[in-house]
Structure 1
Amino acid sequence: MAAHVWPLYGLRVTTPRLELRLPDLETLAELAGVAADGVHDGASMPFTVPWTDASPEERGRGTFQHVLRTVAEWSPRAWTLSLAVRCEGKVVGRQDLTASDFAVTREAETGSWLGLAHHGRGIGTEMRAAVLHLAFGGLGARWVMSAAMTDNPASLGVSRKLGYREDGVTVAAVRGEARTLRRLRLGREDWEAHRAVRVDVEGLEPCRELFGV
């Protein structure tokens, strides 16, 4: 893709095992395939928007459209950076960083999913650590938020490992039922104290105006 037109295509975040990039069309097709193959046990629903309650074809197509939509709707006042995650060369999931009025609030929020075949390998922790480094070290965030269902110990465990503190609860209607989510908040000092993964960021400078910084 033409990074000189849309500099975010030149942004690259890496850890010892992972590479996170805004996907070009070929990579986006791979990401759609991972979503189609399954993201979680069908007996549970870890997302407030139950986008995985669909056929494999619809999940893949929805993933493809979602990422393109984040590019089309981007503005410095409201943006979602939706990065494809590669582990040792293979697309395994998606890591998002979202913010509104970031230039003023210096707050962002993370969200992610990982292909079911890649669970249990520590990838979720490493890809979150990567995007946190981008937020705090690259963009100067003061706070990064997350949230997870109270019955989602894997996601909550990742947050605690990375230094997040509990920030109350909220209730969402999911599949027609009330579900409780635990809110989590990470400040710069706690991020610094819990950094355990080496992260490198390339191609950020041409993107700063797009982030509103």
Structure 2
Amino acid sequence: MLQEIPTITPSLREARACVLETGRLTLRKPVLADVAAIASLANDRRVVEMTRRMPFPYTRDDAARFVGSLAHGHETVFLIEAEDFVPVGIVGVDWSNRDAPEIGYWLGVQHWGRGYATEAARAVIDFTFEEYAINQMVSAARVINPASRNVLEKCGFQWTGVELHRMEAISSSTPVDCFRLTRGVWSSLKSWGTTRRSR
């Protein structure tokens, strides 16, 4: 049975502890031992300028604050690990809008172009629709970021328009393409693969 849309409840804390496995990736909750790896991957202007809330430069202190905030925030976040458990990026769901949780992701530049973002996003989309009684998910990508838009389209997201979003790294608002994925569309695309999970 699907769970209610989460607030800060035991069910959401359990979700944060969940481990997802795909064909090539392992997705798990970031811990303080990951701070150095996260900072190393994120401290690149090409990464943070495509995200909404990440500063530049991105330091170990920023990574530590991010990991520490996960125990109390409204997000379900996974560290993405590739073969040999090498960290490659982050994917997560922001539950600030309970009716339309927002998926976001980023990868270290050296891991771009390998399909990791699509694989990780699909795993988290599956987990979210399978675990929670939601009817849609949303996401956004800067209009100058065709790679991110391509990931969303491969996951079934449909374009809904352009908005201005504030980006911390550039200290300004910038146009973003907005997308929505409904449960119905997700169900029709579910043949993209299987995600294994463990707790």
Q: What is the TM-score when the length of structure 2 is the normalising length?
A: 0.82
Return the letter of the residue paired with 1:133: D
Give the Cα separation in 1 of the matches to 2:165 and 2:97: 24
Return the letter of the residue paired with 2:63: T
Structure 1 alignment gaps of length 5 or more = 1-5, 204-213
Name the residue aligned to 1:48: 52
DSSP-derived class of the 2:104 partner: strand
Whether 1:14 and 2:21 are equivalent positions in the alignment is yes
Return the letter of the residue paired with 2:30: P
| Contact 1:19–1:87 under 8 Å retained in 2 | yes
Return the letter of the residue paired with 1:168: G
Structure 2 alignment gaps of length 5 or more = 1-12
Pairwise CA distance, 1:61: 2.4
Structural RMSD (CA): 2.2
Whether 1:138 and 2:134 are equivalent positions in the alignment is no
Aligned positions of 1:20-169 closer than 5 A: 20-36=27-43, 38=44, 40=46, 45-49=49-53, 51=55, 53-54=56-57, 58-71=58-71, 73-74=72-73, 79-88=74-83, 89-100=85-96, 102=98, 105=99, 107-169=100-162
DSSP-derived class of the 2:90 partner: strand
Give the Cα separation in 1 of the matches to 2:39 and 2:120: 18
Q: What is the number of residues matched between the two proteins?
A: 183
Residues 113-154 of structure 1 deviation map (CA, whole Å, 9 limit, x = unaligned): 101110000001001001101111122321110001111100
Q: Give the % identical residues.
A: 25
Give the Cα separation in 1 of the matches to 2:47 and 2:171: 19
Return the letter of the residue paired with 1:191: W
Q: What is the TM-score when the length of structure 1 is the normalising length?
A: 0.77
Give the Cα separation in 2 of the matches to 1:186 and 1:180: 20
